[in-house]
Amino acid sequence: MVTGTGPAGAESRSSDKMRIVTLDGHTLNPGDNPWDDIASLGELTVFDRTARDEVVQRAAGAEIVLTNKTPLSREIIRLLPRLQFISVLATGYNVVDIQAAKERGIPVSNVPTYGTNSVAQHTIALLLELCHHVGEHSLSTRSGAWSRQPDFCHWNTPLLELTDLTLGVVGFGRIGQRVASIAQALGMNVIRFKKDGSSMGHPGIRGVSLDELARESDVISLHCALTPENNSFVNQAFLSKVKSAALLINTARGALINERDLLDALSAGRLGGAALDVLAVEPPPADHPLLHAPRCIVTGHMAWTSLRARQNLMRTTHRNIEAFLNQKPINVVND
């Protein structure tokens, strides 16, 4: 078994082991999260990054392909005749044409639970930064602003206490539920979007319509998958119903938000603030307007990247491959 970490990849293979190719492994293992367990299951070749026009060449001959954000379209799947299994190095699997894979009898697995705590923690970190501006105040203190004060304390912006405010959660899976429980511990009231408006199974958390959530929430946090139906649902119409002091947080998918409409709301003072870990195009161009928008925090799609979360992702991917090899695939999204 040979493990490649760059364009050269593996140069030899044993006939009794399946070939496993990872198309974009750098974010999962930038050097602190070894591939050893997965390498024990076959002949592993890891590419840090793969351009779209390199996918077929690099995955040619592989029975198992691992991808995070590198697309596997219908055409690419057609051009990989040896392909038998795809495991997505993430929870979202929209980068794979799962119907084309199903037609070929190729199971596609994902990793559904690895980052729950990491993403929830980052969501709360963004919320607290919007409330207390800790980074801004630290820079101000370092610049000497506190030292110049005639009083014993110093702050630049109003601070927001969360007790008794209402958090509206859109997307109430594992991450949304974890965020809700932390918010409750902070003394917040929690509502959630639910089409039928029920709160069954979650006592103390009221299910409401999207319009009600927009109108009642002091903080809105997005944790839903991206679908054709909810693409850009946070738009001018939605934002027009939101409280002018409300805060918007997105650690889900950037395309849930119409970014131009969000910019307009922030610029006009129709929204208290926004904190985004995701954007519609990633990485964004340097002149992306939300990077410089007023009352807007942007982090670089990092909520999932704690070492513990990435180790969980690696372990589950190992189990996905092992289960497939045992002809009992798990976490299949296209069965």
Is the pLDDT assigned to residue 297 strictly greater than 50?
yes
Query: What number of other Cβ atoms are within 10 A of residue 149's Cβ?
Result: 12
CA atoms of 83 and 60, how far apart (whole Å): 8
Structure tokens that stand for 229 in this block: 């139906």
Q: Where are the alpha helices (DSSP H) in the chain?
A: 36-39, 55-59, 74-78, 98-103, 116-132, 134-142, 174-185, 210-216, 236-239, 259-267, 307-325
How much is the pTM? 0.89
The pLDDT tens digits of the residues spanning 216-246 come to: 999 999 999 899 999 999 999 999 999 999 9
Catalytic amino acids?
A: 253, 282, 301
Domain 116-298: which topology? Answer: Rossmann fold (3.40.50)
pLDDT one-digit tens code per residue, 157-207: 999 999 999 999 999 999 999 999 999 999 999 999 998 755 566 788 999
Structural domain boundaries of the chain?
Answer: 19-114+307-325, 116-298
Q: What is the pLDDT of residue 210?
A: 97
On the question of a common fold for 19-114+307-325 and 116-298, the answer reads yes
DSSP labels for 274-300?
EEES--SSSSPPTT-GGGG-TTEEE--
Torsion, CA 304, CA 187, CA 206, CA 241, rounded to 10:
-80
pLDDT of residue 203: 80
With a cut of 80, say whether residue 306 has pLDDT above it.
yes
Residue 279 to residues 65, 126, 176, 289, Cα–Cα distance (Å): 26, 15, 19, 11
Residue 50: predicted pLDDT:
98
Homologous superfamily in CATH for domain 19-114+307-325: NAD(P)-binding Rossmann-like Domain (3.40.50.720)
More confident site: 288 or 14: 288
Q: What is the pLDDT of residue 195?
A: 81
3-state secondary structure of 273: strand
Q: Give the per-residue pLDDT at 242.
A: 98
For 121-163, write each residue's pLDDT tens digit.
999 999 999 999 999 999 999 999 999 999 999 999 999 999 9
Task: Summarize pLDDT for 41-91 with one digit per residue, the tens.
Answer: 999 999 999 999 999 999 999 999 999 999 999 999 999 999 999 999 999
